Amino acid sequence: MEMSSLLKPEAVRVLSSASSKKRLLQELGETAGSVYGVDPVLAIRALQERESLGPTGVGNGVALPHARVEGLEKVVGVFVLLERPIEFDSVDKLPVDLAFALFAPSDAGVEHLKALAKVSRALRDPGRCAKLRSNKNASTLYTIITEDLSQQVA
């Protein structure tokens, strides 16, 4: 599974206005709606419900919110760079400035877990995260986030 199969270039955003976790989840759901055609209300509600089970802030300023949503045929993603980090109830208590949301079909099984593992691996790479944080251009961010891990030079 390639990262580019999960993420469209227009689903990459730089946000200066997200002031809370709730607002970020709204932005992620609205972007999924406009880019992938899912119902944004359902997408936002699904993210909020998943978040109520336990925070998806995985540490080091990274959040991986994810949810199952009616109306999708495959797993898709939205990536956001926040210009100002926000509180996200992360495991390490640090604020979040990188968020990659995954939206899966209601009946998705292993595909959803494989996508989550792929994104998690990519955003555990400190070099990639540093590159993402130092760029404010959505197309550059897309190139960095979809870069194959095996192609990165140590």
Catalytically active residues, by annotation: 66
Distance between CA 39 and CA 106 in Å, rounded?
13
Query: CB atoms < 10 A from the CB of 63, how many?
Result: 29
The answer to whether the CB of 72 falls within 8 A of the CB of 105 is yes
Tokens of residue 28, six digits:
């992620």
Tokens of residue 21, six digits:
């976790």
Please count the residues of the chain: 154
In which residue are the tokens 């640090």 written?
A: 94
